[in-house]
Chains A and B, each alone.
Chain A
């Protein structure tokens, strides 16, 4: 466990810029989306999006819904590529470092910097929409599991095999980005607008 945390902390030090961006974007999303519910249409400007002038809240939220998974994906790919599990030139394969330790460190990284922020964001949005988050925990955990499986198994593995660098312009990542908003929209349709929804303006 000590070595797993040691590898995890090394990744945190290495990827602090990516982590900062991947944490900042969900915060911005969590701030903008509820505002767009209250001020739909072209006149709704948030404190953040207002800075750009031409973006209303809905557009800003639509951009963020793409940027958030993109940032998460990029961070995860960077973390995995820093110690690739495949290939014969990797630095760690001739060091006393077991692949299970490495994999555990990467899983911990995803849990801390993708799953946890995502869960907090979901809980926050549910609460802002006037729902009781505790009623939807099973669904949220199921979504977490699916996203983790995509991030952990399919996508990085495919990227490792296909891409020489951390380029994200691949059919797989594109399909991921296409599916994410669709899934979000699907979830949104299933959630009726709560009459208890209250305005929330932490920056105002």
Chain B
């Protein structure tokens, strides 16, 4: 069993009457590139801020690199790199002064790596941070968070508002360091995340809907298209693992969230009868995310908040864990 770089137990955060996080049980294995995805207001930033001890949890606990997150301050942060879109940086500094200022804080600061990162990110050392574009600022912050070989890199929405070229450079910078670090990244940019994430967790309304290896997630989601001889009657109660069931004349479409060739075929025959043509198409992370988000929203509209949580949990197959058993249950 692999060790975990991050582990949370029933982590809950309330801001007065608003519950930003509810019973979050998250495990990020050491060496993983873990993508925490979810719609706006899902609680991603809140979770990350609790992990970084920026603020405390209302209930539950979190461990980061084996240390209780509430003790995470001072020197203990020297093995963690944190980059956030919301972070205020000393923008009056020039890039070289910024890096020079941070150098003495980190015993493991690597001057050669710093130079390599400056070259790789094409950072203008003689310019003030406030004069840089947003992408350049993110790159400068990332360079300052990678130059000391952190064991854990935490990135909160780093790609927001960046052009594809800068995103590519950032991702390449991360991939180059992925072997020596664990990376936790929260992002909306699923297409980018999919290219390098090893694990993915889907957070919605403060709850973790699923958390597993990306390969297993992609394996269990399929877009199913069935063609019948005659338009079939859609069942009132479709299997819970079928999302977004719809029919157009003789063609029925849905998303299977727990795909198993034999079992799914059997279910189709039982529920809809014999189809003339059956197509199972693999889905991208973005399509899976959209299907999950839409299902959650539709259910919220029709059955109310409480039912949504139960139904979406079942539909998403939250019982599924990562292959190494490190996935979390919601």
* Chain A interfacial positions (CB closer than 8 Å to B): 2-3, 6, 10, 13-14, 82, 88-91, 93-99
- How many residues on the B side are at the interface (Cβ–Cβ under 8 A)? 26
Among A3, A13, A14, A82, the residue within 8 A (CB) of B105 is A3
What is the distance, in angstroms, from A13's C-beta to the closest C-beta of chain B?
8
B88 contacts A90, CB within 8 Å? yes
Q: Is the CB of A82 within 8 A of B88?
A: no
Cβ distance A83 to chain B, nearest Cβ, rounded Å = 8
B80 at the binding interface (Cβ < 8 Å): yes
In the complex, the answer to whether B106 meets A96 with C-beta atoms within 8 Å is yes
B105–A94 CB distance below 8 A: no
A-B contact pairs, 16 of them (CB 8 A): A3-B104, A6-B101, A6-B104, A88-B54, A89-B86, A91-B89, A93-B73, A94-B87, A95-B77, A95-B102, A96-B74, A96-B75, A96-B77, A96-B105, A96-B106, A98-B74
Most buried by B among A10, A82, A99: A10
Known: A10-B101, A88-B49. A97 touches B74 (CB 8 A): yes
Question: Judging by beta carbons under 8 Å apart, are B52 and A96 in contact?
Answer: no
Which residues of chain A are within 8 angstroms of B86 by Cβ–Cβ distance? 89
Cα–Cα distance between A96 and B102 once the two chains are bound (Å):
9
In whole angstroms, how far apart are the Cα atoms of A193 and B37 in the complex? 75
Closest to B80 in A: A94
Query: In the complex, what's the smallest C-beta–C-beta distance from B98 to chain A, in angstroms?
Result: 10
A95→B54 CA distance, assembly (Å): 11
B52 to A94, Cβ gap below 8 A? Answer: yes
Are B54 and A97 within 8 A (Cβ)? no
Once the chains bind, are A91 and B87 in contact (CB under 8 Å)? Answer: yes
A2-B104, A88-B49, A88-B54 known; A98+B88 contact, CB < 8 A: no
Q: Are A94 and B104 in contact (CB under 8 A)?
A: no
Q: How far, in whole Å, are A201 and B17 apart by their CA atoms in the complex? A: 68
Q: CB-CB contacts of B297-330 with A at 8 A, as 1s and 0s? A: 0000000000000000000000000000000000
Is B76 close to A, CB under 8 A? yes
* Distance in Å: Cβ of B109 to nearest Cβ of chain A: 11
B55, B80, B87, most chain A CB atoms within 10 A: B87
B159 contacts partner chain A, Cβ-Cβ < 8 Å: no
Interface centre among B89, B93, B101 (most CB of A within 10 A): B101
CB distance from B262 to the nearest CB of A (A): 49
Extra pairs beyond A94-B82, A98-B73 (11, CB < 8 Å): A3-B105, A6-B104, A13-B97, A88-B49, A88-B54, A89-B88, A91-B87, A91-B88, A96-B74, A96-B106, A98-B75
The contact string, 1 if C-beta is below 8 Å from chain A, for chain B 115-136, is 0000000000000000000000
Verify if B198 is at the interface (C-beta below 8 Å from A).
no
1/0 per residue, CB under 8 A from A, across B156-199: the answer is 00000000000000000000000000000000000000000000
**Contact between A97 and B87 (Cβ–Cβ < 8 Å)?**
no
List residues of chain B with CB within 8 A of the CB of A3. 104-105
Which residues in chain B, 40-91, are within 8 Å of chain A measured between CB atoms?
49, 52, 54-55, 73-78, 80, 82, 84, 86-90
Question: In angstroms, how far is the closest chain B Cβ from the Cβ of A94?
Answer: 4
Nearest CB of B to A87, in Å: 8
Which residues from chain B contact A6 at a C-beta distance below 8 Å?
101, 104
What's the Cα separation between A97 and B76 when bound, in Å?
10
The list of the 7 closest CB pairs from A to B, nearest first, reads A96-B78, A94-B82, A98-B74, A96-B77, A89-B88, A88-B54, A96-B105
Query: Quick one: given A82-B90, A88-B55, A89-B88, are A95 and B105 in contact (CB under 8 Å)?
Result: yes
Q: Which residues of B contact A93 (CB under 8 A)?
A: 54, 73
| Cβ contact within 8 Å between B101 and A94 | no
Known contacts A88-B49, A89-B87, A91-B88, A96 near B82 by CB under 8 Å: no
With the chains together, A91 CA to B90 CA distance in Å? 7
CA distance A95 to B52 in the complex (A): 10
